[in-house]
Structure 1
Amino acid sequence: MELFHSTRSTDVTVTAKQAIRKGIADDGGLFVSDGLGSVTVDVDTLVGKTYQEIALTVLSALLPGFSEAELKECVAGAYGQQWKDETITPLKELGDDYILELFHGPTSAFKDVALQMLPRLMAHTTSGTDAASPTQRVLILTATSGDTGKAALEGFAGVDSTGIVVFYPAGQVSEVQRLQMVTQQGANVSVVAVRGNFDDAQSSVKNIFGDTLLGFDIDAQSHTRLSSANSINVGRLVPQVVYYFAAYAQLLASQVINNGDEVDFVVPTGNFGDILAGYYAMRLGLPVGKLVVASDKNNVLYDFLTTGIYDRNREFFTTISPSMDILISSNLERMLYYFSDGDTELISRLMSDLASTGRYEVPTEIMSKIRQVFDCGWADEDQVREAIADCWDQNHYVIDPHTACAYHVLNTTEGTPMAPRIILSTASPYKFPRAVLEALGQSAPASDFTCMDALHEFSDMEIPSNLRTLEGMAPRFTGEIDVADMAEYVKDMATQFAQ
């Protein structure tokens, strides 16, 4: 069985189940497996298969230690009637290119693909000799820039022996995103706004995981282990690999490509998880030409990929694509591990530099290998609005501001010669109805829900009922705390959920 270890050390190894239950390694690193790619997926065998069948094949290659029966149960539960499209992630033509719709799940965002799966995977980590700990209760901590929070709440609400706490940056998510979170039902959930930005919240959550004394104290007081639903958790990351294979299989089925032809993927990303899943797919044998990083005005990833220097010491912008307003891209650490051929000493030094100075520089020879796989671009606020309008004018298709970043980048980068290009569409435009309506040159009413109605009248695109019914719902969670108070809040919630 292939084991997992930290990106920063190989001293301690764990099983896939243990890695998922722990969420993050004790040294602050992220769990990786050196066996990635040792088992490959024959894409030709996926043609005509359902999403669920493709998911079983791909996850079996990525999660050794889970039995076929366990994975079948997880897949059946994760990708069932809660999805509005039976293909789960339908691929549609967009002019000469394609768009992969990832927003047909229960919260209308791509995070559903993974966060309908993660709670089910985690449910199989608590028993038997492979259990991570005799402690049965788990408290999930999640920092969100907008979409992860609701998707995680939806996935973990009501799950036995599990609690979940979601931190979101106060005033820096859309009104629809905020209402999705603060109206969440369930006795085992808690949502709180943090005074700061997403990076502040994410860094604090990672520090909480790294606080050994706090972890021991929580375990002693409430018999609870902390874990994560962010993409730092390998169980959150690997389900996203599936839709890359599903997209390729759909192109094969429609005879747009032949087996072995390369395909480019253009991915709006802030934390680097969505596009890292594409790299995992590539390691599993998917014929990928380029993985194209699409950033918004917070273009730290673009600067890194073009200069080799990662520097978060810059102005932070609050944009109309809030889920990408991120300056610390956690999953980049996994990518660097693989491209450095598993040099844990280098990764430790780079992450130490990031923590102490806010920047690091990657050796030239490693950057050369990275650029063979990854391309990049970014869009400012005006370009995002122009992209939304142009996509409508050219294709009669409405996109949200995050997908608009990818649309702009697709039209301003060359791509692999002769390769089809696929945009990953990450959210329903109805999650950001005001920004989309204004970009389309329409006047925006005072209420976001009236904006939804106006956008529907303009485009005739169906409004997801899970979003429209938020109007008038009373918030359950109205709290707001400082970053410095997050650890104490977690401790209090662990005690409360244990009662």
Structure 2
Amino acid sequence: MKYKSTRGKASNYTFEEAVLAGLSPDGGLFIPESIPKAPSDFLTKWASLSFEELAFEILSLYIDDSEIPSKDLQGLVNRSYSTFRHKDITPLHQVKDGLYILELFHGPTFAFKDVALQLVGNLFEYFLKRKNAGIENAADRHKITVVGATSGDTGSAAIYGLRNKQDLEVFILFPTGKVSPIQEAQMTTVLDKNVHNISVKGTFDDCQDILKGLFANKDFMSKYNLGAVNSINWARILAQTVYYFHSYFSLLRSLNITPGSEEAKKINITYSVPTGNFGDILAGYYAHQMGLPTSKLLVATNANDILYRFFRSGVCEKIVGDDGGVHETLSPAMDIVVSSNFERLLFYLARDAAGDASVPEAEKDIKAGEIVNGWMVDLKQKGRFDTGARVLAEAKRIFDAGHVSDEETVATIREYCFPEDASQAAYVMDPHTAVGVTAAKTLIPKTDARNIVISLSTAHPAKFSEAVEKAVKGQEGVQFSEFFKKVSPKEFDGLMTAERRVVLIPRAEEALVIEVIEKELGH
């Protein structure tokens, strides 16, 4: 399997090259040359596999054995998920009839980003060890400087995946005061020498723009051998496809339905995904294209609803404002205007609309790359682009979208914390999960038992105490402090008062970030 760019000007990259580079030289994102289909018998062959076994099977479709031998890949997978607290890695939890929560927060930092970044960290380490085999002189060793931007969970998950790894330095940019207190503490209390946090006065989009600028700076990128851990890194998307397949088989097992049976074919599954940078739901798109039986992928947004508006009109348009158009909400990881991974979907949509079956595949790729590049230029220069009716129709074949207010988010958390139905067990969810559940509740019709919603739970509720407190506050006979103590993991004890290390910069300027990086690296 080789990899190519969404801008159509780079191709024939190996998996290792795509993972280590993160961003293509032409400014695009790496995607596989083609999306492989799951084996024709996967519904029966994969039905009883563990998460780790399933991950190995799926990753093997995208990674040639000549690049990572099967034995090594299996070891990487097993090591990556040995850090999770639940035996199923991403367990499926039924909260009421027709609604299931896919819990993705059982990794080291209690967020879904761990599923991918534990693997990414081990991939970086694997590639570096291979490059440096037999090289004793420190000056001659191949090194990587990983730079990432975070709206909260990516930073801590990347740090926990990369901390204390040889020949690797990691720098994480986050917007000052715009991540949750727990998220900031998780990042800044990691004191390993190779971990560096940079607090940027601005928004997440500002941090993301700086990150893109660093990767576009060819001299800087070459000098420090930059690597990416943000969801632009292809390995992250690949790792996340696994839990879509795993949840499907978990669901059928819970319903005592045999995969591939006529009864299974009658089940209509909608995945509702709280969406910020579009990586999590994009993994669902790849799973669907590989053959996973999926009815719809529901893009659930908060007040930052640029994606919701796109799936209604085909127009991607920023909202102009002094704050860059970003609204601060109770679900801060989704407070994003420009979703980096959306470009990957746009490539496929443009490609499908670029010509009929008579058009050669290579020509379709080139045309699609030109179209996507034009859209990205328009978004940057004009603040909008219009894909047209044909592309929108193609998008709506699999995607739907909803947007959810803070008030609705709080109401949903409260509804499931204190269910009116005595037979329904209480369930505490974080605000991002609540956005997904709320969007599904308003858009999925209640018909019969064959319609099922699996809503992705992206973080542990203890990471977002403000939203949970708003939901619990005023509930008769409930003291929030006692309520939250039962919810909060023991791993968070003492975290807020632990020693921290972070560099503050007063403006969202690329030059200031470069100055910090060079100082920390001793250059």
Q: Is the 8 A contact 2:132 2:141 kept in 1?
A: no
Choose 180-189 or 248-257, whichever is displaced more. Answer: 248-257
CA displacement at 1:35 relative to structure 2: 1.8
**CA deviation string 1:96-147 (max 9, x = no partner):** 110011001110110000010001112233476999xx97111111110011
CA distance in 1, matches of 2:141, 2:313: 45
Q: Is the 8 A contact 2:241 2:286 kept in 1?
A: yes
Q: Is the 8 A contact 2:408 2:438 kept in 1?
A: yes
Choose 134-143 or 29-38, whichever is displaced more. Answer: 134-143
CA displacement at 1:214 relative to structure 2: 2.5
The DSSP-based 3-state class of the residue aligned with 2:400 is: strand
Query: Percent of counterpart pairs with the same letter?
Result: 34
**1:180 maps to 2:186:** yes
Aligned to 2:428: 398
CA distance in 2, matches of 1:487, 1:236: 28
CA displacement at 1:210 relative to structure 2: 0.8
Aligned to 1:319: 329
Q: Is the 8 A contact 1:194 1:483 kept in 2?
A: yes
Instruction: Call closer, same or farther: CA 1:289–1:346 in 2, change over 3 Å.
Output: same
The DSSP-based 3-state class of the residue aligned with 2:497 is: coil
Which letter does structure 2 place at the counterpart of 1:93? Q
The DSSP-based 3-state class of the residue aligned with 1:267 is: strand
**CA deviation string 1:252-304 (max 9, x = no partner):** 22235442534210000110000000011111111111000110111111001
CA distance in 1, matches of 2:494, 2:118: 21
**1:19 maps to 2:25:** no
Choose 46-55 or 57-66, whichever is displaced more. Answer: 57-66
Q: Is the 8 A contact 2:249 2:259 kept in 1?
A: no
Aligned to 2:405: 380
**1:454 maps to 2:519:** no
Aligned to 2:339: 329
CA displacement at 1:454 relative to structure 2: 2.8
Choose 242-251 or 338-347, whichever is displaced more. Answer: 338-347
Aligned to 1:469: 494
Q: Is the 8 A contact 1:21 1:122 kept in 2?
A: yes
Instruction: Call closer, same or farther: CA 1:192–1:455 in 2, change over 3 Å.
Output: farther
CA distance in 2, matches of 1:494, 1:107: 28
The DSSP-based 3-state class of the residue aligned with 2:110 is: coil
Q: How many residues are treated as equivalent by the alignment? A: 478
Q: Is the 8 A contact 1:40 1:61 kept in 2?
A: no
Q: Is the 8 A contact 1:148 1:230 kept in 2?
A: yes
Task: Pick from 449, 456, 468 the counterpart of residue 424 of structure 1.
Answer: 456
CA distance in 2, matches of 1:474, 1:227: 28
Which letter does structure 2 place at the counterpart of 1:111? K
**CA deviation string 1:462-481 (max 9, x = no partner):** x2222233032122225234
CA distance in 1, matches of 2:54, 2:124: 20
Which letter does structure 2 place at the counterpart of 1:175? P
The DSSP-based 3-state class of the residue aligned with 1:259 is: coil
CA distance in 2, matches of 1:482, 1:456: 36
State the TM-score, normalizing by the size of structure 2.
0.87
Task: Pick from 459, 468, 471 the counterpart of residue 439 of structure 1.
Answer: 471
Task: Pick from 77, 80, 96 the counterpart of residue 78 of structure 1.
Answer: 80
Aligned to 1:37: 36
The DSSP-based 3-state class of the residue aligned with 1:471 is: helix
Q: Is the 8 A contact 1:452 1:468 kept in 2?
A: no
Aligned to 1:63: 63
Q: Is the 8 A contact 1:168 1:192 kept in 2?
A: yes
Q: Is the 8 A contact 2:6 2:29 kept in 1?
A: yes
State the TM-score, normalizing by the size of structure 1.
0.91
CA displacement at 1:317 relative to structure 2: 0.7
Q: Is the 8 A contact 2:141 2:167 kept in 1?
A: no
CA distance in 1, matches of 2:206, 2:385: 19
Instruction: Call closer, same or farther: CA 1:281–1:370 in 2, change over 3 Å.
Output: same
**CA deviation string 1:399-425 (max 9, x = no partner):** 111001011111101269723210100
**1:285 maps to 2:291:** yes
Q: Is the 8 A contact 1:289 1:416 kept in 2?
A: no
Unaligned 5+ segments in structure 1 are 444-450
Aligned to 2:102: 100
Instruction: Pick the structure with greater CA Rg.
Output: 2
Aligned to 1:143: 149
Task: Pick from 104, 110, 117 the counterpart of residue 112 of structure 2.
Answer: 110
* Superposition CA RMSD, Å: 2.3
CA distance in 1, matches of 2:289, 2:73: 21
**1:414 maps to 2:444:** yes
CA distance in 2, matches of 1:481, 1:66: 43
CA distance in 2, matches of 1:251, 1:11: 40
Aligned to 2:357: none
Aligned to 1:48: 48
Aligned to 2:356: none
CA displacement at 1:12 relative to structure 2: 3.6
